[in-house]
Amino acid sequence: MEMTLRWYGTDYDTVKLWQIRQIPGVHGVITTLYNKQAGELWEQDEIKALKNEVEAGGLKIAGIESVNVSDAIKAATADRDKHIDNYIKTLENLGKEDIHMVCYNFMPVFDWTRTELARKRADGSTVLAYTQEAVDAIDPEKMFESISGEMNGTVMPGWEPERMAKVKELFELYKGIDEDKLFENIVYFLKAIMPVCNKYDIKMAIHPDDPAWSVFGLPRIINNEKNILKLMKAVDDVHNGVTFCSGSYGTSLENDLPHMIRALEGRIHFAHVRNLKFISPTNFEEAAHLSSDGTFDMYEIVKALYETGFDGPIRPDHGRMIWGEVAMPGYGLYDRALGATYINGLWEAIEKSHLRGL
């Protein structure tokens, strides 16, 4: 596996490349052209400039998260094929720059949903959190307003102000689109892009829905083992793969995370490893990566990745805000650095036990 950290770019991220380079075992970043809108073409010279900046910082681009899929593609509107054509050209330009993994999602309207960005824990740290009762009590058009004051002056992925200004229009767009139709639309998209993925060996890694159930009545299709295996079978190409995010699949306590990893052997191209602490099945907060701080057995999750031969990029995911840091919620430096070293330690211990035949 290749340990990485997500980085949003100089103009958007509070964390610097030189800081990431000093985290033991981290040699690459997962990044993006954050100023690009979904459906827009990424030019090769823009990608090259980003790549040169990362390499000048002593790191490499291990993958892109995300080349966002437009609502025209997800909802199959009149601009779908035009946006798919731009996506294909973008993938071609990434391939020409020797970038071979793209994480993306197919969630309608909200890329992810949390009801708090700074829930205070007993140790004084703050974390992202979700309570179903809070979602049930709020108008979806006011969702952004309810959390925007906790963004610490940053622009959070999937919650860009210009996008949130169109929430009402977006809900109208998805009227009449159920899970079957959304699944049909993702299969159409994947079949269209597989030729360029095969040509340039670009592994598409779909991120699960977060949380793993319908929010505001919107359809969810990438939320459990049955559904993700259905997608792998529908487009049975190794380049159609998965981002295994323990924190997103893990929002449903019905998901057996190590079992899912084993069921997806050979199709996991990217991994987000993080922990959650549940107060109730629909009230959870994000925890430190350490197993004992949350609900998941992180050793068993990493062990399943190791034993299925996972060799792609991996990253610690949402971290706590600790030690007075002010940053994009979930994406500060300190707790993610702790997470990276913890996951590296687990991997080393598992690897050595296997080498010794234990």
Task: Compute the distance between CA of residue 157 and CA of residue 110 in angstroms, rounded to an integer.
Answer: 10
Q: How far apart are the first and last CA of the chain?
A: 21
pLDDT number for residue 225: 97
pLDDT number for residue 341: 97
Element (H, E) at 345: helix 334-355
Element (H, E) at 62: strand 60-65
Q: Which of 8, 318, 335, 342 is labelled catalytic? A: 318
pLDDT number for residue 177: 93
pLDDT number for residue 169: 81
Would you say 221 and 209 are in contact if contact means Cβ atoms under 8 Å apart? yes
Residue 262: CA atoms inside 13 Å, Cβ hemisphere, count? 10
Nearest to 106 by CA among 172, 186, 168, 39: 186
- 259 among known catalytic residues: no
Q: What six digits make up the tokens of 105?
A: 């999602």
Whole-prediction pTM: 0.92
Please list, in sequence order, all residues whose beta carbon lies within 8 angstroms of the beta carbon of residue 305, skipping any fewer than 6 positions away: 1, 244, 261, 268, 271, 314
* β partners of residue 203: 101
Q: Which of 100, 239, 272, 289 is labelled catalytic? A: 272
pLDDT number for residue 216: 83
pLDDT number for residue 98: 97
Return the CATH number at 108. 3.20.20.150
- 318 among known catalytic residues: yes
Number of domains observed in the structure of the chain: 1
Task: Compute the distance between CA of residue 66 and CA of residue 73 in angstroms, rounded to an integer.
Answer: 15
Q: Which domain holds residue 184?
A: 2-356
pLDDT number for residue 150: 60
Task: Compute the distance between CA of residue 35 and CA of residue 84 in angstroms, rounded to an integer.
Answer: 19
How many other C-beta atoms can be found within 10 angstroms of the C-beta atom of residue 168?
Answer: 11
319 by DSSP, 3-state: which? coil
Q: Which of 8, 249, 331, 342 is labelled catalytic? A: 331
Mean pLDDT by 10 residues, the chain (358 residues): 96 95 97 93 98 98 96 96 98 98 92 87 95 83 60 57 70 90 98 98 97 89 97 98 97 97 98 96 95 97 98 96 93 97 97 84
Task: Compute the distance between CA of residue 101 and CA of residue 103 in angstroms, rounded to an integer.
Answer: 7
Q: What is the DSSP letter of 160?
A: -
- 272 among known catalytic residues: yes
- 27 among known catalytic residues: no
